[in-house]
Structure formats: structure tokens, C-alpha cells
Structure 1
Amino acid sequence: MNKRIFHVLEFDKIISQLMEQAASSLGVEQARALLPSTDFDQVVKWQDETDEAFHILRLKGHIPLGGIVDIKPSVKRAAIGGMLNPQECLDIASTIYGGKQLKYFFDQLEDVEAPIMEELADQIVPLNELEREIKNCIDDHGHMMDGASDKLRGLRSKIRTNENRVRDKLDHITKSKSKMLSDAIITIRNDRYVLPVKQEYRSAVGGIVHDQSSSGATLFMEPQSVVEINNELQATKAEEKNEIERILRELSQRIADDEAFLMQNVDALSKLDFITARAKLSHQMKASRPTMNDHGMIKMKQARHPLIEPDEVVANDVELGEDFSAIVITGPNTGGKTVTLKMVGLCTLMAQSGLQVPALDGCQLAIFSNVFADIGDEQSIEQSLSTFSSHMTNIVDILGHFDSSSLLLFDELGAGTDPQEGAALAMSILDYVIEKGARVIATTHYPELKAYGYNREEVVNASVEFDVQTLKPTYRLLIGVPGRSNAFDISKRLGLSDQVIAKAKEQIGADSKSVENMIASLEDSRKKADADYEQAHNILEETAQLKRDLEKQWRQLEEQREAIYKKAEEKAEKAVAKAREEAETVVSELRNMKTETEWKEHEWIEAKKLLNEAQPDLSKKEKKKAPTIDEDKAKTLKPGDEVKLLTLDQKATVIEQTGKNEFQVQVGIMKMKAKRKDLLFVRRDEPKMEKPLATVRGAHYHVKPELDVRGERYEDALQQLEKYIDDALLAGYGKVSIIHGKGTGALRKGVRAFARKHSKIAGARDGGMNEGGLGVTVLELS
């Protein structure tokens, strides 16, 4: 893609905004190097990455990227034997820690699907030992700590002791010879403790002169009594420096040993930071993901120029490449034609760079092999080119390099020369590029091009709206309506006399008048259609709201009816229970009053059964529809079937079949014969089937098709899982469910890892809506 287009469409400003969203210099460098791609699969992958990060930011609010530094130069220097300084080591430890935090964040991410970013996070190696070694030696300010080694601790202690000895001696001299000093302070020159001595007392104090004041009146002297201690102090400090260098060399070697892992971490962190920066820019622009295509179709709803302030920009709908391959936009200056042109081109470059575009959801953008633009007054004084020559130079270059998969943007095509020749040239250029199959958007002032779109199927007219009442453009793009000059209307509102305007109208031809009238009619029709659409949309919204309100009221009525029915059922059950209790009491008293000869035991049982059957079934459950007489005649009766004896209107039980159409039945305590036509089948007690046990080589395995490991420790859960899978395989199950819950996600990941390693597990997936969702993993056994 040509580099000039980035400057013309101000793509470099988008890159600058993207760089500001990066959390580290790693992301900044990736953003700076970003260029649009012409590879369809690559662009789709970039859009997938940005969309994943966008959803994570929307749901989680952030992606932790703190503490990450570009440590590649330091790691490379350590790998070739260089010694890193404490700050470089600390940056490496900070980056290791930042990588661990990011890895943990994605390990705990359960309610967002982000396979691309999770795969990148899995590449991060948590170098805990290296991080610990660096943190044990260097503090947060980049200073080597005393505990870095036993020798360093001893040397630091010796340094402090010698410093205290020097200070004590100098404090004594300061107090005893204060008159000889310019100031009663202890200072340092050449890393040695000295006193500010007056010039005239040099001999009285004695010692080594290290410096003097600018006036020469004060000498900074090291008294002889502290020279030896200072010497010892300097020697100890030299040892301290050597020990620090030794520790740094060891740390540098440890870093060199982990060079491959560190570089892998940096690469993953760099990509994650860059992806997150793209998503942050989308949130800032209130952008949405475009659906990419490779057949030159652009379809954007309420698209906005990304570099214009949100409270100033006007959103527009743009379509190109489906019903027509070229748009010719006409209208007044400062009406927004050029902004529309740049917006389409810039959104295309952004989409092909993996960035989301400021438009409503569902927008579609094409991947073009090249985007060309001739926009603005690019007159070159140095080259002595006129406006027309400058434009034509660019157009000639474009026509020499474009192809059928290019997007061409022409601003004021054919301007800067004789209007008649310019219009003819513009139409010829448009015909040429349209014939080659390219997608074109052009702006123009020429009235001849207003009729151009009506004569060619591949071209559509468009205009930017102008409010004659306010004499200001509305910046709204109207597809299908060419622009008109509005010169007479504007002049009249500005005060030009009607006589002059009428004379001017006489000067223009009939064709021009008819075209202007046609355009005015189209504008009126468009405005009326827009008003009708808005009214219809409002009515649809009101209807939808009314439907939602009615559904809500219906649900409330159903709930109330259910509550009333349940309350009545409970009340009826209590009444029946009370009646049974009272009846049983009465029967018990009667039984005590009668002898066994008068009351048979089976009579008491039958009476109690009839009492139980007297309880009404008030359940709301749907009753099974009783069979009709005709349907029942085809039913074969068997002993034990419950039937209804129609002649007595009583329930009975079939004992046996005594003839072709005759059965012996029992009604209460009575046995009698009845014809088949007098018996209505009620129900049959089906024998209960015992659940078969899985059998392997004569042994029975009582194995459920699911295992619940919620609340178990990680190791215990995996042990149970391993044994359970063995039992399930022996039982011959083809599929089992492992219930692990959502929680922190550790058990879920453990189950997935176990499934991948087990040779008898063919696959693993999350449970469906009716299987437990993300809290369950379903294993396919082979």
C-alpha cells in the first residue's frame, strides 16, 4: 500500500492515538510499526484479537499490564557476557512479575471467551526463581541490599563502623578547634571526610588539603588523625564495589541462562499490550467491529470521522460495492464532502490494520489491495505547478497503479480548469476506473456530473445537505440525491432584489432549470420519506413496548392464579385430612362396639380404601384424557387391570377372562362376571424395571454417569477422577459428566488437562445449557 495515503488520510494521527493507549514501550513500538494488511486471513485474525480484548475490557474493566518493560536489550547484553546494572536487573524482575500477574488474570478468566489472548498468556513462563534471586539482592529503588551476600553484609558493617570512627574524631576536632574552621560541619571531598579550615590555620590543623573555596579563604582538609581510618574506609568501599560487581555478574549469568524464556515472555507481553491498546482505542472512539469481506463492499451505519470531536462530528450512512461501485457527491463548499471522503478511506485503513471503526454494530468493510486519494489543494510552488496540474499529476500516478481491488478517492475531480472541459475529463476518468472494476468515491461542483449517475447503472449520486433557512450545511450525506447550487435561494435570503434574481434565472437554460427542479423534488421526497420512516419507527417501538407490558401482566396473572389455586389445594387437603381423621375415629369406635362375627376384616380394609379414594386430586397437573368407548373396545384387558363397570358406575379389577368377550371382575368385596362392552379400561400397573447393572466378566459395577468433585482438594479430586474413569470404562459408558463448579477455575483446568493426557478420553467439552454450563465438563470415552 502506498505510503503517501497515510499522510493524506491522516492515518498517522490514528497511530499516535494508538501509541498513547499502550501500557509499555513494547506496545508503543508495535503500534508505531502498524501498517494495514491486504491479507484477508491476517486482517480477520487481527479483528478477532481486538474484539476479544474489547469484550474483556467491557466486562472486567481492565487488563493488568503494569510493571512491563522492554528488557530485550538488557537480556541480549547479558547473553553475550555483559554485566547488567541493578536497575536493569530490577526491570527484568518487574517484567517477570508483570507477566505472572497477566497469566494469572487469564487463568481466572471464565465468563469471557478469549482463546487467542489466552494462548498468548499460556506462552508466558513464570520464572519465579530468577525473580526471587533478583528481589533478594536489589531493593525497589535499584540499590544492592546488605543481604545480597554474607561478604557484602560484613563489608557494609565495617564501612559503617569506620565512618562512625571518622565522624567521632572530626566531631572532636570541630568542638576543640572551632575558631580555626570556617563552619562547624563535616563534609566530603574526593570521597573522603574533611573539615573546612581557615587558610591561616592550615598548619595548626595539619593534614591533607583536598580542595579550597573559590576565594581561597577556606581549605577542605583531611586531618592527619583520620587519614588512616579514611584509607581503611576507602579500601573497604573498593571491596564493597567488587562484591557488588560479583553479585551483578552472577545475576547477569542467571538472566543469560533464561534468555530464551525471557525473550518468549517479552514477545507474548508485547503482543498482549498491543492488542489491549487497540481495544482501548475502540472504547475511546466508541467503535465497533467491522465484518470484513474481499469483494469490495462497504456498508456503514452512522459512521463518524474518527479524528473529529464526538460532540461536533455528524454520523452518516455509507454504502458502496453492492448495488453500485461509484458514488459522485455534489454540494456546496464546506458542506462535508471532503470529510466524508476521508472518513471512508480512513475507516478502511483502520479496519485493515485490525482496528475497530466508529460506526454502529454490523458494519461491513472490504479489504482493498490499495487505497488511492487525490484530496485537497496540493499545489507545489517549487515545481511551479498550478492547482489543475497538481491534481492531474496525482491522478495520472493513480491511474497507472490501481487495479480492480483498489479504492479510489477523488476530491473535486476535474477542478481548476475550464468547467466544460473539466466536467468531460471527470466523466472520462470515472468511466475508465469503473470499467476496470475499482471502487470510486468522487466529489465535484460540475452540474454535468449530476446527471452522470442517472445514465450509468454502476454509479449513484449523493449530496451533502444544505439548510437554506440558516444558510449553513447540515453535513448529512444523502445517497441517491444530487446536490443543487442553492445560489438563488441564498442570494434572496441575503437581500438580493427579486428583480436581479428573476433576470438571472432567465439567463440559465431550460435543461438546467429542469434538473434543479428535479433535484428539489427529490430532496422534498427524501425529507418526507425520512419523516415517515421516523414516525413508523416510533409506532413500532410503542407497539413493541405495549407487547412487553401485556406479556408482563399476563405472567403476573398466571402467577396470581397459580398462587390462588395452590392455596385452595392446601385448604382442601387440610379439610380432607381432618375428615379422614374424624372418620377413622368413628370407625375405630364402631369396631370396638362390634364383635368379629359382625364385622369382617376385609370389610374394614375396603371401607378404609374407599375413604382414601374420597380425597380429591386438586393438582394442576394435566389429567390424561380418558379413552372413549370406541377406543377402549380395541384395548386388550389383562388380569390386574383397573376398569370401570359401566352398569354399576363403579371401579373394578379384572381377575380373569372367562369367555371370548366375558371377564370375571371384583368390585369391592364382590366378584362377578361382566361383558367386555360393559368394561371401560382405566389403568394398568406396569411392572417396575430395575436399572440394569453394568456387567464386566460377571462382576457388577454400580457407577453413576456423573462424578461430583466440588469442594474437593485439587489432588484428591484428580485421584477420584482417575478411579472414576476406570470404573466408567469398565461399565461401558460412552459419555460421563464431571461436576467441578465454576469457582476459581482450577478444577476445570485440571479436568481438561487430565482429559488431554488420558488415552481413553476422546474429547472434552463444557456442559450445555441443560447440563450445567461452565460448571460441568462432559468427557467422551472411547
Structure 2
Amino acid sequence: MQDKDLSLLEFPRIREIIAEFCHFELSRALVLKLLPSTDVDWIEARLAESAEARRILQHEPGLSAYGLSDVTEPLRFAHLGRGLEGKVLAEIRRNIGVLRQLKSGIGDTSADTPRLAAIAENIAGFSTLEKTMDRIITADGELQPGASPELLNIRNRLRAKRDEMTAKLQNLIQSEATRHYIQEPIITEREGRFSLAVKAEYKGEIKGIVHDISNSGATVFLEPFTALETGNEFKELEIMEAREIERILRELSAAVGNHAAAIISGLRAAAEIDYALAKARYAHQVKALEAAVYSNSSSEKGIIHLNNARHPLIGDSAIPLSIEIGKDFSIIVITGPNTGGKTVALKTLGLLSAMTQAGLPIPAESGSRLPVFSGIFADIGDEQSVQEALSTFSGHMNNIARIINLAKDGSLILLDELGASTDPQEGSALARAILLHLQVLGALGAVTSHFTDLKVFAHVTQGLQNASFEFDPDTLKPTYRLTLGSPGGSNAIATAARYGIPPTIIETARGLLSGGGRRLEELLNVLQEEKQRLEDQQKLISRERISLHNRQQILQTELSRLHDEKTGIIQTARDTIVEEISQLQKELRLARNTLEKERSTAALNQAKTISENVRTRLKQGIFSEISNEVAPDNELLKTGDRVWLKEAEIEADVVSVNDKTGQIEVSAGSLRFKLERQGVVKTNGISGKRPDTKVRILSAGKQIGIELDLRGKRADDIETLLDEYLNNAATANLPEVRVIHGYGTGVLRDIVRQQAARHPLVGNFFSAPRDQGGDGATVIRLK
């Protein structure tokens, strides 16, 4: 990216704004030298850091690098063995504390911020150094009283010596012999020595050393000889204190120097984190997000998609811009009224692309996606140059020549008022030639123009597309809404009227407008009105579609409810029939047992006949729907027949019949499978959906065992117990049960098997396997 293009797009101003959100001078330096990149991995990394920083500030809004300062130079001096002053060491101590807090804050959100957490790993811990520094110096850079035992001892002696010196001088001030020589009853320090303010004319009355004289000459500051030795001792202690302080600071500086490289590394990491946090604070202020970029492996590298994007320097008054370039066309020709937003659209497109390639969030809604351009070139604004003796047209051509020579496949090119400021016919022809060249080059771009020829050219040329900013014919004001697919009128006369040009001039201009130009403007206005009408119709149809969908959902819910009610009613009726059958069978068994006890053979045979007839009628009543619909098993099948799959309990169509193996191939929906002939039953109905008439007997919740033990039971009770058990087993959907009767005399076994042979719920029966009781138990398979 060249500085000229970035300057035209006002990218440096964006850097300055984001730099204001930094809390650390090193991070501000990073922002101010920021440039767009063409490295996709670098761009994605910076955008990811920005997104992570936004998440951090949502949970930790107070996290910042505030308090950090650039102490790189004194750290390097310390590393070289140079001693540092107390205030500089205190500043380094403050930086170490801020680094610790910053790393801790990032660590609390490391699961959601892996990139920033990785940067924070470069901030080492300095807990031992922090404790040492806290023990030696204060936050203001002064040495702590107990910085060392020797220093503590010297300062205690200094305090005592000061008191001794003060007492001696105070005695002279208060003495009857000397107090009238004193100018002021105070003890002062001159040149590091304790002194008395003595009247100049009496300086010989008090023997001592004069250290200073007042400006007026009326007062001399004198150290009496009587306190001279004590003063000398005090001065010696001060020298000892200074040397001990120097030794302590030198040792502390050496300790800091040992960690200098790690601290500098931590400061650089903190600068990167503060830079990311600055981008997040900026994003919060302008409602910005990170646009997605096409990766190196993407097959759609050349599509610009901006969703409600806004120019970041205009503020809340910016009109959102939604645009897509690169899918069906590579260059758009934007026309429309003056002051309608064409130039702002170009700058928005170029500036947001540059910001994204610099890893910055842009003021646009989610779903925005941009290519990584090999270069972004712009010719926007007045290019007139007095110094170079260039006219506006020459200035534009000079810049466009630069762009054409530098641009290549994958560049973004933005040209404002292409071909203007010269003869319209030549300017239009030149503009069309430039657009054709950019197409061949493989660049994406947007140009603005007022040329009618260029509007027609964009309409008929593959890869070019018209776009226009709308103009409200009622208010005679631009709407700043961009519409793809149709050119816009310049509305220069209407705009001039709005800005106060006298009506007589406006009418004269309309009369002088060529017929073709006037008709084109009128046609554009009609097209705009028709487009608005179609958009209104589309909105109405969309609302109707939503309303119909909602009504369909309501009807579907009601149908589902009615189906559930129907299913429940049928199930209840079937359960009632099963209960009635069970009750009738019990009554029949009781009647037959009574007759058997009375030993009436004729009556017994009659009861059995009645019982069989009732069972047959009941069976026919329950399963009549199935028997009417399903054909006998032995009926021959052919391709196209409709069959009922017994195990799957679904209908299917016969696809083919294998006469050799006896297998048939059936299809049910998207499924195809082969099975044996006995697994299907031919239905008498034609191919279609089978009515849901199958009877299913569901368990009422009673737990039924899979075997019945009749050993030890009376022969008279066997039939009643067995019949009740088989009814319950059938209700519980048990496929097979085992009846234990033992060996004995064989009476119980005969009763069980005779009843099983005539029971309507029994399919077949046989002796149990040897490991399950052999002939002492009977296995009964239910229908």
C-alpha cells in the first residue's frame, strides 16, 4: 500500500484515533506505524486478537495497561552495570506491578482468549524482585528506613547527633551572654552545616565559622566553634549515609539488570495487548466488528461483501452502505446526484478494506467479508497542482497512470469522477478504455461518473454493473441509499435549485437541456419509481408469505391434535373389546366347569359348541378390518402387488419375484430389501397408503411372567388359570410363554395341551427343551 492512497482514504487519521485509546506509549507507537498487510495469516491473527480483546472488555472492562511507561533505556543501563536513581527504580517497580496485573487479567479469560493469553505468556513473574524492591525503596523512590541494617544504624546515630547539635546551638540562643547577638532565634543550615543567624556587627563576639551572609549584609550565618566538633561528626555520618545509599541502590540496580531482558520482553508483550485493547475500545465506540477475510485456500478470493457498513470518520450521521462486488461483476459504475454520497461510498469501500488488512475492526454488521487485496489504489478528490503546473484533469491522469502501472490481479481500484474535467466525449471514451483495461487486469473496483455513455457501457458490458444513489423527486434531496443494477440521474438542475439558483435560470437550463438527455433523466426517474413500487410489492408478498406460513403451522398443529384424539378413541375402544372378550371367556369357562361337574355329556357338548361359536364371532369381530383387507398367504404374488410386511408392520410394493428361491424384493419409500414369501401378506387394495386399521393390544401396565407353574394345582382349576394367564400374556404382547405342569401321571399335561390346541390366542405349542424342563413343561407361542 502506498502512502498516497492511504492518505486519500484518510487511513492515517484512523491510526491517530485508535492511538488515543492506548494507555502505553509503546502501544501508541505500534498503532501510529501500522500499515495494511497482504499476509492472510497475519491479518487473521490481528483480527482474532481484536475480537478476543472485545470479549475481555465485556467481562473485565477495567483491564488496561494504564501505569506502564517506557523504561527500556534505564533497564539496559542497569543490565550494563550502571546504578540507577531511586525514582527510576521506583518507576521500574511500578511497571513490574502493572505487568503482573495485566497478565493475571488475561489469564482469567484465557479459555476464550487463546491468542492474547499466548502473548501474555511472554510476561514473566518477578515476585522475588518485587519483594526486594518493596523492602528497599518507597513508591516515591526514597529508601525505606530499614533498607539495610547499616543504614538503619547510621540514621539512628544521625538523629542523635542532630539532637546534640541542636541542643548546643539552642543553649547559645537562650544564653544571657549571647542572645542579644542573635538576629533571629532560629537554627538554620548553610552549606550543609548547622548555623546561627548572628547580627553582622557582633560576629566577632561569637567565635566560629561564617558559612553565609544575607543579601542585606545585616546577618551572618555562623557555626560556633563550641559546636564545630559535633558538626563535623554529623557531617561524617551524612557521608557514611550517602555511601550506604549508593551501595544499596547499586546492588538493587544490579538485581534489576539481571531481569532487564525479561522485563523488556514483558513490556513489548504488554504493548501488543494494550494495542488489542485499544482496538476493542475503538470498536465499542463506533460499533465496529471484525470482517471475515478469505483464506489462502478459499475458492472465493475476489468477493467484497459489506453489510450495512459506515464510514468511520463521519460518525452517527453516516448512512449504512451494503454492497457486493466480485461475484457477478468486478467493477461497479456509481452514478447519481451530486452531494449524493458517491465519493463517500468510494472512501468507505477503500478505507474499510485497508483497515481490515491492518487487522482493525470496521463499523459494519456481522456477515461482512473482504478479500485480501494485493494493493488498494485511489484517485479521489481534486488533483490540481500549482507546483507541478498540472490542471485538475492532468492531475487525475497523472495519478491514474501511476495506479495502472502499479495495479495487478487482486487489486482494489477506486476512481472518482473518471474522465471528468475535460471534453465529455473524449473523457467518456477514455473512461471506458480504462474500465476495460481494469477488467482484463483482474482487479476489483468502483468508479463514479456522470457520463450517460458510461451508464450505457456498464449496462451492456459483461463484468460491469451500474449502481446509483437514489434521489427523492418529491423533496429534491438525495437519499444516500445505494441501489445496484440501475443507473442514476445526476439531477444537477434540481440540486442547483435546492442550493438557491434563481428559478429563471433553472427554467432556462431545463429548456436548453437536449431532448435525449431530458428523456433519459425522465426515464431514470420512472425506473426509480417503478423499482420502489416493486420493492413495496415484494415487502407485501413477504409479509403475506409469513402470514400464510403461520396459519399453516396453526392448521398443522390442529390436525396433529385431532389425529391424537382419534388414535386415543380407537385405542380405548379396542381395549374395551379386549376386556369384554376376557370377561365372556371367564363366564364361558365357569359355565362349562359347572356342566362338567354335573356330568351331563349332552349339556357339556352344547356348552362347548356355544363357546366355540362365541369365540369365533368375537375373533371375527375384532380382526374383521384386517381380514377384509389382507388376502390369504398362499395367494401368488407378482410385480406391482401391494403387500403387508408382517414383522415391520408396514406396506410395500413388490419389485420382483424369484421363482427359484421363492424370495421377493419389495420397496417401501426409499428402502429396498428381500425377504421370504411367508413374511408378507398380499393386500386386496391397490398401491397406496394403507389405512391405519391394524389392531394392537397394549399392556395396561400389569407385569406378566413368561412362565406359569401349575404344579400342585387342582385339575378343576387348571383351565381357568391357564386361560386367564394366556389372556394376560397376549395383552402384554408376550410372543412365547412356558407352562410348567410336571411329569406325574400326565393328567395336568393333557389338560394344558388340550386347552392350548383349541385356545384362540395360541399359535402352536410343544414340549420344552430338555434344559428347560423337557416333557414336564409346555412352550406355547401366541398368535
Scaled by the length of structure 2, what TM-score is found? 0.68
Paired position in structure 2 for 1:133: 132
Counterpart amino acid of residue 323 in structure 2: V
Counterpart amino acid of residue 236 in structure 2: A
Displacement of 1:170 after TM fit?
3.9
Displacement of 1:411 after TM fit?
1.8
Paired position in structure 1 for 2:232: 231
Paired position in structure 1 for 2:354: 349
**Separation in 2 of the partners of 1:539 and 1:629?**
44
* 2:546 is the counterpart of 1:462: no
Counterpart amino acid of residue 20 in structure 2: E
> Structure 2 vs 1, CA of residues 51 and 539 (structure 1 numbering), >3 Å: closer, same or farther?
farther
> Structure 2 vs 1, CA of residues 517 and 352 (structure 1 numbering), >3 Å: closer, same or farther?
same
Paired position in structure 2 for 1:305: 311
Q: Residues 468 and 486 of structure 1 are in contact (CA less than 8 Å); yes or no, is this contact kept in structure 2? A: no
> Structure 2 vs 1, CA of residues 650 and 677 (structure 1 numbering), >3 Å: closer, same or farther?
closer
SS at match of 1:452: helix
Write out per-residue CA displacement over residues 465-503 of structure 1, whole angstroms, 9 at most, x where no aligned residue.
Answer: 334544443333333332313244456778989887666
Q: Residues 298 and 366 of structure 1 are in contact (CA less than 8 Å); yes or no, is this contact kept in structure 2? A: yes
Paired position in structure 2 for 1:293: 294
Corresponding residue to 1:371 among 365, 376, 390: 376
Paired position in structure 1 for 2:633: none
* 2:395 is the counterpart of 1:396: no
**Separation in 2 of the partners of 1:411 and 1:57?**
40
Counterpart amino acid of residue 303 in structure 2: M
* 2:654 is the counterpart of 1:655: no
Q: Residues 306 and 369 of structure 2 are in contact (CA less than 8 Å); yes or no, is this contact kept in structure 1? A: yes
**Separation in 1 of the partners of 2:208 and 2:217?**
17
After TM superposition, the structure 1 = structure 2 runs for residues 538-553 of structure 1, keeping only pairs within 5 Å, are: none
Write out per-residue CA displacement over residues 534-591 of structure 1, whole angstroms, 9 at most, x where no aligned residue.
Answer: 55677788899999999999xxx9xxxxxxxxxxxxxxxxxxxxxxxxxxxxxxxxxx
Report percent identity of matched pairs. 35
Write out per-residue CA displacement over residues 420-477 of structure 1, whole angstroms, 9 at most, x where no aligned residue.
Answer: 2222222222222222111112222333322231121222222333345444433333
Displacement of 1:658 after TM fit?
9.1
> Structure 2 vs 1, CA of residues 447 and 250 (structure 1 numbering), >3 Å: closer, same or farther?
same
Displacement of 1:157 after TM fit?
1.7
Write out per-residue CA displacement over residues 582-619 of structure 1, whole angstroms, 9 at most, x where no aligned residue.
Answer: xxxxxxxxxxxxxxxxxxxxxxxxxxxxxxxxxxxxxx
Q: Residues 665 and 674 of structure 1 are in contact (CA less than 8 Å); yes or no, is this contact kept in structure 2? A: no
Paired position in structure 2 for 1:194: 195
SS at match of 1:674: helix
Paired position in structure 1 for 2:48: 48
* 2:278 is the counterpart of 1:277: yes
Q: Residues 288 and 356 of structure 1 are in contact (CA less than 8 Å); yes or no, is this contact kept in structure 2? A: yes
Write out per-residue CA displacement over residues 715-750 of structure 1, whole angstroms, 9 at most, x where no aligned residue.
Answer: xxxxxxxxxxxxxxxxxxxxxxxxxxxxxxxxxxxx
Q: Residues 644 and 650 of structure 1 are in contact (CA less than 8 Å); yes or no, is this contact kept in structure 2? A: no
* 2:73 is the counterpart of 1:73: yes
**Separation in 2 of the partners of 1:330 and 1:10?**
23
> Structure 2 vs 1, CA of residues 314 and 192 (structure 1 numbering), >3 Å: closer, same or farther?
farther
Task: Compute the RMSD of aligned alpha carbons.
Answer: 4.1
Paired position in structure 2 for 1:674: 756
Write out per-residue CA displacement over residues 659-686 of structure 1, whole angstroms, 9 at most, x where no aligned residue.
Answer: 9xx997999xx999533844479xxxxx
Displacement of 1:38 after TM fit?
0.5
Write out per-residue CA displacement over residues 493-521 of structure 1, whole angstroms, 9 at most, x where no aligned residue.
Answer: 78989887666445433432332122112
SS at match of 2:426: helix
Moved more, 528-537 or 336-345: 528-537
> Structure 2 vs 1, CA of residues 630 and 472 (structure 1 numbering), >3 Å: closer, same or farther?
closer
* 2:21 is the counterpart of 1:16: no
Displacement of 1:387 after TM fit?
1.6
Counterpart amino acid of residue 239 in structure 2: A
Q: Residues 321 and 482 of structure 2 are in contact (CA less than 8 Å); yes or no, is this contact kept in structure 1? A: yes
Q: Which has the larger radius of gyration?
A: 2
Displacement of 1:175 after TM fit?
4.7
SS at match of 1:100: helix
> Structure 2 vs 1, CA of residues 505 and 13 (structure 1 numbering), >3 Å: closer, same or farther?
closer
Q: Residues 646 and 680 of structure 1 are in contact (CA less than 8 Å); yes or no, is this contact kept in structure 2? A: no
> Structure 2 vs 1, CA of residues 366 and 648 (structure 1 numbering), >3 Å: closer, same or farther?
closer
Paired position in structure 2 for 1:605: none
Q: Residues 645 and 679 of structure 1 are in contact (CA less than 8 Å); yes or no, is this contact kept in structure 2? A: no
After TM superposition, the structure 1 = structure 2 runs for residues 528-543 of structure 1, keeping only pairs within 5 Å, are: 528-532=533-537
> Structure 2 vs 1, CA of residues 193 and 13 (structure 1 numbering), >3 Å: closer, same or farther?
farther
Displacement of 1:203 after TM fit?
2.9
Flag structure 2 segments of 5+ consecutive residues without an equivalent.
296-300, 562-648, 650-693, 700-704, 711-719, 730-736, 764-783
**Separation in 2 of the partners of 1:172 and 1:540?**
107
Q: Residues 18 and 31 of structure 1 are in contact (CA less than 8 Å); yes or no, is this contact kept in structure 2? A: yes
After TM superposition, the structure 1 = structure 2 runs for residues 214-613 of structure 1, keeping only pairs within 5 Å, are: 214-293=215-294, 295-310=301-316, 312-489=317-494, 504-532=509-537
Displacement of 1:126 after TM fit?
1.5
SS at match of 1:675: helix
Paired position in structure 1 for 2:641: none
Counterpart amino acid of residue 276 in structure 1: L
Q: Residues 304 and 315 of structure 1 are in contact (CA less than 8 Å); yes or no, is this contact kept in structure 2? A: yes
Displacement of 1:215 after TM fit?
3.7
Write out per-residue CA displacement over residues 632-654 of structure 1, whole angstroms, 9 at most, x where no aligned residue.
Answer: 9xxxx964599995579864784
Displacement of 1:251 after TM fit?
1.7
Write out per-residue CA displacement over residues 364-418 of structure 1, whole angstroms, 9 at most, x where no aligned residue.
Answer: 1111111111121232222222222222221111111111121111122222222
**Separation in 1 of the partners of 2:416 and 2:462?**
22
SS at match of 2:756: strand
Q: Residues 338 and 491 of structure 2 are in contact (CA less than 8 Å); yes or no, is this contact kept in structure 1? A: no
Paired position in structure 1 for 2:92: 92
> Structure 2 vs 1, CA of residues 149 and 421 (structure 1 numbering), >3 Å: closer, same or farther?
same
Q: Residues 654 and 663 of structure 1 are in contact (CA less than 8 Å); yes or no, is this contact kept in structure 2? A: no
Write out per-residue CA displacement over residues 2-37 of structure 1, whole angstroms, 9 at most, x where no aligned residue.
Answer: 122232222112111222222222322222232211
Counterpart amino acid of residue 514 in structure 2: G
Paired position in structure 1 for 2:767: none
Counterpart amino acid of residue 426 in structure 1: A
Paired position in structure 1 for 2:662: none
Paired position in structure 2 for 1:114: 113
**Separation in 2 of the partners of 1:677 and 1:509?**
105
Q: Residues 22 and 278 of structure 2 are in contact (CA less than 8 Å); yes or no, is this contact kept in structure 1? A: yes
Paired position in structure 2 for 1:148: 147
Q: Residues 67 and 97 of structure 1 are in contact (CA less than 8 Å); yes or no, is this contact kept in structure 2? A: no
Displacement of 1:44 after TM fit?
1.0
Scaled by the length of structure 1, what TM-score is found? 0.68
Counterpart amino acid of residue 343 in structure 1: T
SS at match of 2:272: helix
**Separation in 2 of the partners of 1:107 and 1:437?**
46
Flag structure 1 segments of 5+ consecutive residues without an equivalent.
558-624, 682-782
Q: Residues 383 and 393 of structure 2 are in contact (CA less than 8 Å); yes or no, is this contact kept in structure 1? A: no
SS at match of 1:400: helix
> Structure 2 vs 1, CA of residues 551 and 256 (structure 1 numbering), >3 Å: closer, same or farther?
farther
Write out per-residue CA displacement over residues 87-129 of structure 1, whole angstroms, 9 at most, x where no aligned residue.
Answer: 332333333333333333344337x522212222334321211
